[in-house]
Structure 1
Amino acid sequence: MSDVLSQNEIDDLLSALSTGEVDVKEIEDESNEKKVRKYDFSRPDKFAKDQLRTLEIIHENFSRLLNNFLSGYLRTVVEIQVLSVQSLIYNEFSNSIPNPAILGIVNFSPLEGQIIIEVSSELAFSMIERVLGSDGSITSEKESRSLTEIELTLMRNVLMKFINLLKEPWSNIIELRPKLETIETNSQFAQIVSPSESIALVTFSLKIGETEGMINIAIPHFVIEPILPNLSSKLWFSNSSKKPTTEIQKESLSMNVEKTSVNIKVVAGRTNISVLEMLTLSVGDVIVLDKNVNEDFEIYIENDRKFKAKPGKKNSKIAARITENLEEGDESNG
């Protein structure tokens, strides 16, 4: 029966009420009955929708970091997105894992327990091929076989990079120190929890060149149970705006700044000449500068005067030896 009554049904109901065929009290009693929601105890739903939404936000941030890393590491176009974040029991997840598989068992320190990162065979072989200098194309024969020892070592290095990228997205909730413990190729040897344990399964779609596949991250409920109260959207955005910069972030920022290139120039002196004088200059002419021969040169970083220096020579190259570090108040463009 539809929840919306037609005009004829409304007219019939009003007519029945006026004639006494339908009792208003009976209708009220029916509306006051307690609603019963079905609950499957074999599949306990331990994650609230708000908590799953926060996990989705965390791993959307992770996917952006992973996209940037893989694009540079594999030297190709990479597309990654979070497909879903859902609550399952571990048995449902483990039964869906193909054999052979690539399962990274990760210690989720300082939290107690482990999580699993599953990478599809298509993606694993494509990444390995590109690391070894190939175009990343794979065959069905490769997809159906297990990794060799050398390939497992290469895959271990890739997964370790994945895991390190998890630290920043989780930093608003907890300072993680994740560590890759082992890589399993058979799901039967990756029983990190009981089959009936509830897990949050984060599924990513990853495209590397022409190869597409899935990455799954299985997070058992008991592992993140101590921090579940913090997995709320309200608290997440509050922490995002107030949380101070972490030491890891400071170190990363410092390393990036140290690698930045800057322009440096050494000025021996200055003078003014006319355009006519400049046009008539030739080899052997002498230009008189405003500096005495014994005065220091000036060193500029970008457009700021930062140091004084003496001219010199190192090996076969002209050099300048810094003699004075100018204070901020002494800076000028002279």
Structure 2
Amino acid sequence: MSDILSQHEIDELLNALDRGEYSLHEIKTAADERRIRPHDFRRPTKFSKEHLKALRSIYEHYARLLTNFFTAYLRTLTQVDVVEVESLAYTDFVSSLSGPVTLSIVNFSPLEGSIILELSTDIAFALIDRLLGGKGMASEKERDFTEIEIAIVERIIVQMLNIIREPWKDVMPVKPVLERIETSAQFAQLYSPNEIVALITFNVKISNVEGMMNICVPYITVEPIISKLSTRYWFSSADKPTDSRTKEIITSGVEKTKLTLTVILGKTSITIGDLVELQVGDVLPLNTDVNSELDIMVGNLRKFQGKPGVRKNRVAVKIVTIIGKEDE
């Protein structure tokens, strides 16, 4: 909308002044109020928009790596996305914590101070359940974590911290070390209430469970390298290959991922009328010849062909053909 008044609007304003509906003092006061914005000197904005953009780039890279790692490590579909990157006072972050929490206090060496990684309880319990052989379900009721559960979470956090090195390496090669895990917000008083922090919020989806993850980065921790927090570094390094350690972690998890192989004996078509009349003992002729090779599916992809048989008193199939991409 334009801030320039039309001639008609100017005429209306002058007429209103003549009628005494407005005074010049009121108009001047309203204009001054629009120009003045309140500033809280107790909470100075130390992170610029450029700094927050750089942090978003770093942690979007981290989210992609974390998605790959969780999918391989947990052997289930996982998605991690950055939702928001904002600057706020440390007290606002602490005030948002309630109930049982998982706060990982992380030494961000060689930088001074610690960052905080917070996992929502739903995601933490889903991780624990999955690693203990479950489907990755959240706890049905709010409860505290057991010592064994904290030990499992600790093992996962250590892996997550190894991965965080990769997106930070072009700004500052960091060696994050987990100092401890707290499950109560009252033990999170690491900084003064008015200390400015950058809060990176992620949405994490593990199987059917969805929850949040936060990383709290105090300004005083990154202050020595704040000039390096520029999106220019990101565009020059976004296409660089993942380091060998991260590749090793992801590859190790992928190699252990279980896949479902299905052997297709054959197919046929019948009417709905015949389907509802099927009984035990009925024979369905298939479109497969007795001596033909059977398709072997990996998920929804046709990857092999084989011959059926028996081995050690179990039905088996012998792979005789490997199907290339052009034949899938």
TM-score clears 0.5:
yes
Partner of 2:213: 215
For the residues of structure 2 that align with 1:67 and 1:129, how far apart are their CA atoms? 18
| TM-superposed deviation, 1:100 | 1.2
For the residues of structure 2 that align with 1:210 and 1:257, how far apart are their CA atoms? 24
**2:156 maps to 1:158:** yes
For the residues of structure 2 that align with 1:7 and 1:76, how far apart are their CA atoms? 66
What RMSD in Å do the two structures reach over aligned CA positions? 3.4
Partner of 1:173: 171
Q: Is the CA contact (8 Å cut-off) linking 2:60 and 2:82 kept in structure 1?
A: yes
**2:243 maps to 1:249:** yes
5 Å-filtered alignment, 1:310-325, equals none
Q: Is the CA contact (8 Å cut-off) linking 2:105 and 2:116 kept in structure 1?
A: yes
Q: Give the aligned residue type for 2:96.
A: S
| TM-superposed deviation, 1:139 | 3.7
Indicate the structure (1 or 2) with the bigger Cα radius of gyration: 1
Deviations 1:25-51 (A, max 9, x none): xxxxxx99xx54431113221100000
For the residues of structure 1 that align with 2:149 and 2:13, how far apart are their CA atoms? 74
Q: Is the CA contact (8 Å cut-off) linking 1:173 and 1:230 kept in structure 2?
A: yes
Q: Give the aligned residue type for 1:249.
A: D
For the residues of structure 2 that align with 1:252 and 1:100, how far apart are their CA atoms? 31
Q: Give the aligned residue type for 2:206.
A: I
| TM-superposed deviation, 1:14 | 10
5 Å-filtered alignment, 1:123-134, equals 123-134=123-134
5 Å-filtered alignment, 1:1-334, equals 3-10=3-10, 36-141=36-141, 144-238=142-236, 240=237, 249=243
Q: Is the CA contact (8 Å cut-off) linking 2:113 and 2:221 kept in structure 1?
A: yes
For the residues of structure 1 that align with 2:246 and 2:209, how far apart are their CA atoms? 31
Percent identity, aligned pairs only, is: 44
| TM-superposed deviation, 1:244 | 9.0
Deviations 1:58-87 (A, max 9, x none): 000000000001011111111211000000
| TM-superposed deviation, 1:4 | 4.2
For the residues of structure 1 that align with 2:249 and 2:121, how far apart are their CA atoms? 34
For the residues of structure 2 that align with 1:250 and 1:119, how far apart are their CA atoms? 27
**Structure 2 runs not aligned, ≥5 long:** 16-30, 256-328
Q: 1:222 to 1:104 in 2, by over 3 A?
A: same
Q: Is the CA contact (8 Å cut-off) linking 2:51 and 2:229 kept in structure 1?
A: yes
For the residues of structure 2 that align with 1:181 and 1:255, how far apart are their CA atoms? 22
Q: TM-score, normalised by structure 1?
A: 0.65
| TM-superposed deviation, 1:12 | 6.4
Partner of 1:319: none
Q: Secondary structure at the match of 2:118?
A: strand
Q: Is the CA contact (8 Å cut-off) linking 1:106 and 1:116 kept in structure 2?
A: yes
For the residues of structure 1 that align with 2:211 and 2:77, how far apart are their CA atoms? 14
For the residues of structure 1 that align with 2:93 and 2:246, how far apart are their CA atoms? 36
Q: Is the CA contact (8 Å cut-off) linking 1:230 and 1:236 kept in structure 2?
A: no
Q: Is the CA contact (8 Å cut-off) linking 2:73 and 2:250 kept in structure 1?
A: no
Q: Give the aligned residue type for 2:198.
A: A
Deviations 1:173-216 (A, max 9, x none): 00000000100001111222111100000000011111110000
User: How many pairs align?
Assistant: 241
Q: Secondary structure at the match of 1:166?
A: helix
Q: 1:257 to 1:145 in 2, by over 3 A?
A: closer
Q: Is the CA contact (8 Å cut-off) linking 1:82 and 1:204 kept in structure 2?
A: yes
Q: TM-score, normalised by structure 2?
A: 0.66
Q: Is the CA contact (8 Å cut-off) linking 1:115 and 1:192 kept in structure 2?
A: no
Q: Is the CA contact (8 Å cut-off) linking 1:89 and 1:197 kept in structure 2?
A: yes
Q: 1:72 to 1:256 in 2, by over 3 A?
A: closer
**Structure 1 runs not aligned, ≥5 long:** 16-30, 262-334
Deviations 1:229-285 (A, max 9, x none): 0011234434x28x998xx93566699999xx9xxxxxxxxxxxxxxxxxxxxxxxx
The runs of at least 4 consecutive aligned structure 1 residues that moved more than 4 Å come to 10-15, 250-258
